[in-house]
Amino acid sequence: MQKITKIGIIGKSNKKEAIESALKLAKWLADKGIEVLIDEKLMLKEQKGYSFSPSQDIPSRVQMIVVLGGDGTLLSVARLVGNSGVPVLGVNLGSLGFLTEIALPELFPAIEKVLNGDFRIEKRMSLVAKVIREGKDIGEYLVLNDVVINKGALARIIDLETYIDENYLTTYKADGLIISTPTGSTAYCLSAGGPIVYPTLSSVILIPICPHTLTNRPLILPPEVTIKVILKSEREEVFITLDGQWGFNLLINDIVEIKRAERTLRLIKSPHRSYFEVLRTKLKWGGR
C-alpha cells in the first residue's frame, strides 16, 4: 500500500468523546503533515491542516478512514465505503467491540504504526440484498452483518419460502430468518443460536428464528450462492432489517434476494489483540 497522506475521520456525532477525540487526532495528524478530512456532522471549528466534508464524500477523497464510536458507527461507515476499497480503522469509545477492536488509549500508537506501514488488513465479505415487489426492484442494500426478516410483535409465525440457487430448500415457519456474514455471526446470529464463524472466512449463515419445526437448524452455505426468500404470509406484519439499522415492511409475495457483494470491507487490524481475545472479553469466556 502506498504511503498514507490523506486520512478521513468519521465519528458518532452525538457523543462528546467522539468530537473531542476527532479534534485531538486531527491536530496530531496535521502536525505530521497528513491531510485530514473530517465528517462535517462532528461540527468542529475548521483550522489549518484539516477540513470538513459530508461523510458520504469522504471515502472517495482519502486513503483510509478512522471511525470513532462503536460497532454500530462502523457498520454505517461500511455502507459509505461500499466498493471504494478504502481501509477502515475502528476505535471504540466504550468497551471493546467486535469490529472496533482498538480502545481509545491505543489510538495514537495504532495510528503511528499505520503511518509507518506496520499494520495488517483483514478482508470482510459483505452481502447485497435486493427486494423485489411485483416484478420490480424496490431497493438494493449493502450489509456487513446481516439481513433479518422477522414478524412484528403481535404477529403469528410467518411462512418464508426459501431457495438456494433456484433450488427449493424449505418453507420456514418461524418468527423470522437471519441471513448473516461471518462478521455478523457474533451479532443477532449468535443470540439466535447460530455458530461463531471466523470473520475472514467466506460463507453465508442461514438461521431460522424460533422455528416451528425444531429440526430446522442453522445452515452454513458457500459464498457464491444466491438466496431467495419469498414471504408467503398475507395478514401478518413482517419487516426486513438491514444491519440492524434500517428497514421497512414487506408485503405478501415480496422476494428478498441475497448474494455476496463484489468487494470486501478492508479492516485495519488492532496491533494489540487477536480476535480470540476480543471473543473472550466480549463474551466473558473463562469467567465464573
Residues carrying an active site annotation: 71
Tell me the three cell numbers of residue 5: 497522506
CB contact set of 118 (below 8 Å; sequence gap of 6+): 271
- Looking at residue 120, its amino acid is R
Contact between 171 and 160 (Cβ < 8 Å): yes
- Looking at residue 158, its amino acid is I
Q: What is the total residue count of the chain?
A: 288
